[in-house]
């Protein structure tokens, strides 16, 4: 098959890497891709990946057999719908299905209508009502911009005034149009856990569990980021919790095939859970692979990703089979100095080849490109995802950090405690 993957991050490099390993992958394109995808695919610049008609033209000109949509923006823009109407096979949900991520209000209504456990909430289109709700509920409390905000539209407020400031920020344009409607939620407590599933024909095929580290600095301090590290599987999850999360994903998948939410959902559904004392509750749904969760999930996936994605895209759940490697996977993100705030680009990156000579190590590129001299340079906040497999959690962690030591660029920033809390056991969250 000739395949094009849309996106430019570490998630897309991991997807391209996994697809390229399949004997069924003929020609692989990444639009726009990055310095890492260029090693396994042909990067395509200048193509607007939110323009469905432009993508239809590209597919016809290049005999594309399947489009894999990585990020959320093209999904919410309805790219999958345009491509499907043109007869192109697409891995990714419709615009309506993508509203599970594109609108937190839609998503919360979906959860409540389908008896999916989640936090109590209110939805508001004006600041005064939202502020009054915050004062009535008290803190801690969570304020969310309703729309897409690149993972930065969620504020966990420890006191009422911080929450009120967050509400005002949303309504005064801090998150653009995404903040024109605001969701205010009860603050749940406990460890977080992600469970992703391939969804097709109303059926969910759950992947391995993963746990991201959102805060910028060691000890879960500092501002939220797109993710500074992740591991899979999650050792603190009990069998009962896994069963409960799996049922939630199966119930959600079934609901996408029923009215009034009928979506013909064909892609990945990401369940972000909080493991509360009352059991797992959904913090959010996303309509695509997580980043950086994908970078530890796909290296553990056994089988042919091309065949899996084709079955999902065709709406043929009976053809989907999943199995997982026994190894643990740990990913550490190397970021630019200053991330998630202002940072500089253009720093030369050295040592990736040395890192990948270590057993079980793969480096996925996120924010990289090449300069005019052909040198690999930084081109984003999150620069590299250093992934290591190991026969134990500790072995995978040690290998990941050994690989990080091999790689250098000016201003390299990383957390040194990815996975440490989980390694210490569930009591670490008490």
Instruction: Tell me the backbone φ, ψ of residue 243, rounded to 5 degrees.
Output: -65, -40
Distance CA 340, CA 383 (A): 12
pLDDT of residue 224: 85
First to last CA, the chain: 49
> b vs e for 179-192, b when ≥16 Cβ sit within 10 Å of the residue's Cβ?
bebbbbbebbebbb
List, in order, residues 6 or more apart from 296 with CB less than 8 Å away: 210, 230, 231, 232, 329, 330, 331, 387
Q: Which two tokens stand for residue 105?
A: 């209000």
Distance CA 235, CA 194 (A): 13
Class of domain 328-429: alpha beta
Of 53, 111, 147, nearest in space to 269 by CA: 111
Distance CA 45, CA 235 (A): 41
Supply the pTM of this predicted model: 0.94
In 70-186, beta strands by DSSP E = 89-91, 121-124, 141-145, 154-157, 182-186
Instruction: Tell me the backbone φ, ψ of residue 155, rounded to 5 degrees.
Output: -120, 120
Of 59, 84, 50, 52, nearest in space to 3 by CA: 59
C-alpha dist (Å) from residue 104 to 112, 210, 213, 367, 378: 12, 22, 22, 28, 33
Residue 408 has what DSSP assignment? B
Query: Locate tokens 């409607």: which residue?
Result: 181
Instruction: Tell me the backbone φ, ψ of residue 68, rounded to 5 degrees.
Output: -115, 120
pLDDT of residue 262: 76
Q: Domain 3-92 adopts which CATH fold? A: Rossmann fold (3.40.50)
Query: Locate tokens 């005019």: which residue?
Result: 372
Distance of CA 45 to the CA centre of its chain: 23
Report the run of H or E that residue 302 belongs to, with start and end: strand 301-302
List, in order, residues 6 or more apart from 298 with CB less than 8 Å away: 14, 15, 17, 18, 305
Q: Where are the domains of the chain?
A: 3-92, 126-180, 192-324, 328-429
Q: Domain 192-324 adopts which CATH fold? A: D-amino Acid Aminotransferase; Chain A, domain 1 (3.30.470)
Q: Which two tokens stand for residue 136?
A: 């009535």
Residue 124, beta-bridge partner list = 182
∠ at Cα 85 (79, 89), nearest 5°? 75
List, in order, residues 6 or more apart from 166 with CB less than 8 Å away: 143, 155, 157
pLDDT of residue 260: 81
Alpha helix segments (H runs only) across 114-238: 127-137, 160-171
Residue 83, beta-bridge partner list = none
pLDDT of residue 396: 98
Q: 301-322 pLDDT, tens per residue?
A: 999 999 999 999 999 999 999 9
C-alpha dist (Å) from residue 17 to 28, 38, 128, 181, 299: 10, 10, 49, 38, 9
3-state secondary structure of 29: strand
pLDDT digit string (tens) for the chain, length 430 residues = 999 999 999 999 999 999 999 999 999 999 999 999 999 999 999 999 999 999 999 999 999 999 999 999 999 999 999 999 999 999 999 999 999 999 999 999 999 999 999 999 999 999 999 999 999 999 999 999 998 887 778 889 999 999 999 999 999 998 998 889 999 999 999 999 999 999 999 999 999 999 999 999 999 999 889 999 999 999 999 999 999 999 999 999 999 998 887 778 999 999 999 999 999 999 999 999 999 999 999 999 999 999 999 999 999 999 999 999 999 999 999 999 999 999 999 999 999 999 999 999 999 999 999 999 999 999 999 999 999 999 999 999 999 999 999 999 999 999 999 999 999 999 888 7
Distance CA 348, CA 370 (A): 9
pLDDT of residue 263: 79
Q: Which two tokens stand for residue 113?
A: 């209508």
Class of domain 126-180: alpha beta
């Amino acid at each position: 098959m000739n395949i094009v993957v849309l996106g430019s991050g570490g998630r897309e490099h991991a997807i391209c890497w996994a697809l390229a390993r399949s004997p069924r992958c003929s020609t692989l394109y990444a639009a726009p891709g990055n310095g890492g995808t260029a090693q396994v695919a042909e990067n395509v610049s200048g193509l607007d990946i939110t323009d469905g008609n432009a993508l239809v033209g590209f597919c016809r000109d290049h005999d594309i057999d399947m489009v894999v949509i990585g990020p959320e923006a093209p999904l919410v823009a309805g790219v999958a719908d345009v491509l499907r109407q043109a007869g192109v096979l697409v891995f990714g949900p419709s615009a309506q299905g993508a509203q599970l991520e594109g609108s937190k209000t839609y998503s919360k209504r979906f959860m409540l209508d389908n008896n999916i456990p989640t936090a109590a909430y209110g939805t508001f289109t004006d600041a005064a009502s939202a502020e009054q709700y915050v004062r009535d509920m008290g803190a801690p409390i969570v304020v969310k911009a309703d729309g897409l905000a690149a993972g930065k539209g969620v504020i966990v407020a420890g006191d009422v005034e911080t929450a009120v400031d967050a509400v005002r920020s949303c309504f005064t344009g801090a998150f653009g149009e995404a903040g024109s409607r605001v969701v205010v939620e009860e603050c749940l407590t406990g460890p977080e856990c992600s469970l992703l599933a391939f969804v097709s024909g109303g059926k969910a095929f759950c992947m391995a569990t993963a746990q991201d580290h959102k805060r910028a600095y060691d000890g879960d301090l500092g501002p939220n980021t797109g993710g500074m590290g992740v591991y899979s599987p999650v050792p603190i999850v009990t069998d009962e919790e896994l069963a409960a999360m799996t049922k939630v994903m199966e119930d959600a998948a079934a609901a996408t095939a029923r009215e009034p939410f009928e979506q013909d959902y064909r892609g990945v559904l990401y369940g972000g859970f909080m493991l509360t004392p009352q059991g797992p509750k959904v913090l959010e749904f996303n309509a695509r692979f997580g980043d950086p969760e994908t970078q530890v999930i796909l290296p553990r996936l056994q089988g042919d990703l091309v065949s899996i994605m084709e079955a999902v895209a065709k709406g043929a759940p009976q053809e989907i089979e999943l199995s997982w490697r026994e190894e643990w996977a740990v990913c550490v993100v190397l970021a630019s100095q200053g991330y998630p705030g202002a940072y500089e680009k253009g720093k030369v990156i050295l040592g990736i080849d040395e890192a990948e000579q270590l057993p079980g190590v793969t480096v996925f590129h996120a924010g990289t490109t090449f300069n005019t001299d052909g040198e690999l340079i930084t081109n984003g906040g999150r620069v590299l995802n250093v992934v290591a497999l190991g026969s134990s959690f500790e072995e995978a962690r040690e290998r990941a950090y050994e690989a990080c030591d091999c790689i250098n660029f000016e201003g390299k920033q990383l957390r040194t405690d990815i996975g440490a809390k989980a390694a210490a056991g569930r009591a670490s969250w008490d």
